[in-house]
Homo-oligomer: A and B are copies of this chain.
Amino acid sequence: MTEAAARRRGRGGGGAARRAERTSIRIETAKYIERNIPNFEVLTEEALEVIETNAEIVLEEVGVNFVDNPAALERWRNAGADVTGERVRIPRGLARKLCSTAPSEFTQYARNRDKSVVIGGRNMVLAPVYGPPFVRDAAGGRRYATMADFEKFVKLAYMSKWLHHSGGTVCEPTDVPVNKRHLDMLMAHMTLSDKPFMGSVTEASRAQDSVDMCKILFGEDFVPENTVMTSLININSPMTFDDVMMGAMEVYAENNQACIISPFIVGGAMAPVSVAGTLTQVLAEVLAGVAYNQLVRPGAPAIFGAFVSSIDMNSGAPTFGTPEAALITYGAGQLARRLGLPYRSAGSFCGSKLPDAQAAYETANSLNMGLLSGVNFMLHSCGWLEGGLVADFEKFVMDADQLGVLHGLAKGVPVDENSQAMDAIREVGPGGHYLGCAHTQANFKSAFWKTELFDYKPFETWDEEGARDTRALATSRVDHLIANYQQPEMDPAIAEALAGYVARKKESMPDAFS
C-alpha cells in the first residue's frame, strides 16, 4: 500500500494538485488541548491524605511482585527495598522519592514537528483505541482484525482533526504472525501518518525494534536524547509486574522513551469494590512502577496511568461509563498531580456490542470525565467498542467528532471586550434578533464548535434523505475520509531504510502465531 500511495502521488503534477484542491477534506490537525478550565476534584484534602498514607502502607507491608525478573529485584534491593523471593516491600516514602526524578511534562516528537505534542501540565493529547482483536463496521460486521484494517484506522486517525496522536496497536492485525506484526504496525504509523505514535510492548526485543526503527525515522543521535514514542506498560493488577511488560519498559527507559505505567483495573476483581480502596491500590501500583522506571533511568518520561472499569456482578463483565469509574478517574487525576506526573486515563469506553445509544452514553460519560479530571494523555479516545474487544470503524469517526467538543470546552470563558458583546446587546435590544447584528457577523464562524457528522437538518429533509441514523452517517464519513486520504510526504531514503529493516527482521525469524 505504500507503493500504491507512492504511485498515486507519482501521477503527480498539475492534475494531482487540482484534484487536491477540489477535495472537500482539508487535512488539518488541531493543536493538543491546552485547558483554560479548572480540573474537577472529588477528593478532599483529608481523603487525599488517607489514600496517600494507605498506599505507602500497602507498599511497605504488603509489597508488590516483580515476576521472573532478577535484575529488577537486584535494582530494588540496591535502592533499599526489602526483597523476599519475588516480593518487593518498599519502605514508606522511598517510591515517592524515586518518582520525583520523572519529568512533570515532556515533548513527544512527531516526524512532522508541527504535530509534536507536549504531554503533561494543563495539556491533553488524544490517541485512538488500542488493542482490540476484532473490528466491526456496518458493511462487514464483527470479524478478526487484519493489517488492512489496521492501515485503514491509521489513515482515519491521520485524517481526523481532533486526534493528535496515531496511537499504537489500533487493532491487532491477526493475519500477520505475532512475532512480526509489530514491524508492520510501526511501519504503518511511520509511513501512513506523520503524527506521533506508540511502540511495541509485547517483548523486550520488539521494544528494541521500535527504538531501532525510530532511529531510522528520526536519526540515530536524535532518539537517545528525545522522546519519540509513548508506550503502554500495563501493571498486572493487583500489584504484579510481569517480566514481559517490565522488559519492554526497561528498553524504553534506557532509551529515554516515555512509558505509561498503568494499573489495569476491573473494580471488584483486580481491586477492592470501593472507590477509596481502588484509588489506594492504583496509587501504590503506579508509585512502584514509576519508581522502578526511574531506577532504570532517572529522568525517563513516565505517565501515571489508570485504566478503570467496574464489574457487572451478574455476568462478571466489565462495565463502562459508570459513576464509580468516574469517581476513581477524577480522584486518580488529583493523586497524579500531587505526584507531579502526567496523567493517562479515560477514553471512548463502552460495553455495547454496537455503536448505538448505549455506546454513546457510556463514551460521552467517559470523554467528559477525561477532560475534567485533568487527563494529559487519553488513549482509546475513539473507536473502542464491546469492552475493548472490538475497534469499530463507524464509532471511530463518531467519537473523533465528539473530541471536538472537548477542545471547545477546554477554551473556557474569555471576557475580553469582544466576548462581552455589550455592543451587540445594545444594538439588538428587547425583542430583537442577533443573527444579523454586527457582532454576530464578525464572530459566527469561530463562535461555535461544529460537528462534521451529526444531523441538524429539518425533519422533512432528513426524512427525504433516507432517515439515516448516526451509524449510517458515520459509514459515509469513513468512506469519504478514506477516499480523500493522501499519504504524507517522506524522504524516500528513509522509507527505503525502514522497509529494509522490516524485511531483514522478518526474514530472521520463523513465523509464530501465538
Q: Give the interface of A toward B (CB within 8 A).
A: 37-38, 40-43, 46-47, 50-51, 54, 57-58, 61-65, 87, 142, 236, 238-240, 267-281, 310-319, 321-324, 326-327, 331, 351-365, 368-369, 372, 386-387, 389, 395, 398, 402, 405-409, 411-415, 418-422, 424-426, 428-435, 439-440, 443-445, 447-451, 453-459, 462-463, 467, 469-471, 473
Contacts and interface: CB of A to CB of B under 8 A. Distances in A.
B433 A269 contact: yes
Given A324-B449, A353-B459, A462-B353, A276 B236 contact: no
A286 B274 CA distance: 42
Contact of A469 (B357, B364, B369, B443): B357
Given A425-B280, A434-B272, A352 B455 contact: yes
A368 B364 contact: yes
A178 to B, nearest CB: 22
Given A357-B360, A471-B356, A63 B430 contact: yes
Contact of A323 (B236, B405, B457): B405
Nearest to A443: B273
A381 to B, nearest CB: 14
The 3 closest A-B pairs by CB, nearest first: A277-B421, A323-B408, A364-B364
Contacts of A430: 62-65, 87, 238-240
Contact of A419 (B275, B372, B386, B469): B275
Tell me how many chains of this kind the complex includes: 2
Contact of A368 (B46, B359, B365, B447): B365
Contact of A405 (B278, B322, B360, B431): B322
B61 A413 contact: no
A323 B420 CA distance: 18
A418 B272 CA distance: 11
Contacts of A440: 268, 272-273
Contact of A435 (B269, B276, B431): B269
A511 to B, nearest CB: 28
9 contacts: A50-B420, A142-B459, A268-B440, A273-B440, A280-B422, A311-B448, A327-B412, A357-B360, A362-B454
A389 B362 CA distance: 25
A364 B353 contact: no
B357 A359 contact: yes
Given A40-B372, A425-B281, A434-B270, A327 B58 contact: no
Given A57-B422, A368-B369, 20 more contacts: A46-B415, A62-B429, A87-B430, A238-B428, A239-B429, A272-B440, A273-B448, A275-B413, A276-B414, A281-B425, A313-B444, A317-B456, A323-B409, A351-B454, A351-B456, A357-B469, A358-B453, A358-B473, A360-B364, A361-B402
A226 B276 CA distance: 42
